[in-house]
Amino acid sequence: MFCPNCRDEFRQGFTRCGRCNVDLVEELPKEDPSDRAAAAPPGPVRLAEYCGYFSLDEARSARDRLREQRIRSDIVVREPPDASWDEPVREEYWLRVDISCARKIAAVLGDLPEVEDAAEEEGAGFACGDCGQKVAADETFCPECGARFDD
């Protein structure tokens, strides 16, 4: 499997290029050098948790509304940061989105200012996808839980 954008090769089972966020293809077309020079590499995707839901159905409904507008999102399932080890597991469902799309997402799902502000502020931080801790934009690891962040 190959990425038609960056032309990286992937093992069987992969369907999308994580860097370019495009579907993989089985064969690459012959490369035209003039096309390659004109193609700009994709910028880094900065993911942030946009909105939390108490049911998976609510999260799926929100994701589907975004998808109708051609906005990609992931559903993250996690325990609340304040969960007690002595209680049964409680799950939260979060939409993780590219914060550069915050204005479009707010138009579809409703305004959430803290995410919109994060998208606009130079050097703004984001919430760790594993523990919810606020992390500086230039960090590669969460200072709270040690989770590694990919570009």
Q: Identify the pLDDT of residue 31.
A: 65
Note whether 70 and 39 are same-domain residues.
no
* pLDDT computed for residue 22 by the predictor: 83
What ranges make up the beta strands (E) of the chain? 16-17, 22-23, 47-53, 73-78, 92-98, 126-127, 134-135
Domain, as residue range, for 32: 1-43
Measure CA 39 to chain center. 23
Domain tally, the chain: 2
Partners of 95 in the β-ladder? 51, 75
Residue 145 lies in a domain: no
Q: Are residues 91 and 108 in the same domain?
A: yes
pTM above 0.75, yes or no: no
The pLDDT, as a whole number, for residue 44 is 59
pLDDT for 120 beyond 60: no
Q: Which residues contact 141 (CB under 8 A, 6 or more apart)?
A: 147, 148, 149
78 with 92: CB under 8 angstroms?
yes
